[in-house]
Amino acid sequence: MDKILSILMLLVGFNVDVVHADVFGYADESGAIYLTDTPSGEHYQLLLASPVEPSKEVVAESEQNPSEDVSTSSKLLHNLRYLEEVKVAAKSSGVETALLHAVITAESNYNYRATSPKGARGLMQLMPVTAKRFGVSNMYDPGQNIQGGALYLAYLLKLFNNDFKLAIAAYNAGENAVIQHGNKIPPYSETVNYVSKVMGLYKKLRTI
């Protein structure tokens, strides 16, 4: 990986305009290096993100002022992205589009390149084990990520008898955490706040 990064740094050093797309790469056991802008497996890692014009860039949730939240239906509607992918995932999973948009907003604010310190990736911040569990091979692919997240939400809703709050809590803290706390929202401040935020977004989005 260090060798790959060295090559990328060299390219960027010569001309920062060389890279016009996200660059993913990996090195195999023989030391051969593979670079692409369309990764086809989890062995590829995001090495260099393409430059995006500030006016068009979707800011990740972690980069926002935590005191600022979506407060109006008009703003929510303006911020919605990946409408077709969400519709397809909703139809195949049975999960409402409003809930999928609410989770995406809370998780990544539509930044498909979002990666958390814990390793969650993509629009719905799937962990690698969850992605594999629901057939997602490329967590940075919007369609695959949304589909995997929708299937996981469908599973959680069924597990917790269609209790939205418990399913959302499980999406954040893990299903075992909810079960271990007697099928109640775990008393973690992050999870409590997450459930409140997603439910608030969901209720507003259902009216749009």
Residues designated catalytic: 107
CA distances for 62 relative to 107, 114, 119, 181, angstroms? 9, 9, 14, 28
Residue 171 near residue 155 (C-beta atoms within 8 A): no
CA distance 103 to 116: 15
Instruction: Tell whether the torsion through CA atoms of 85, 88, 89 and 95 is positive or negative.
Output: positive
CA distances for 129 relative to 55, 122, 208, angstroms? 34, 14, 34
- Amino acid letter, residue 118: K
Nearest to 100 by CA among 45, 143, 57: 143
Burial of 129 (0-12, 13-18, 19+ CB in 10 A): exposed
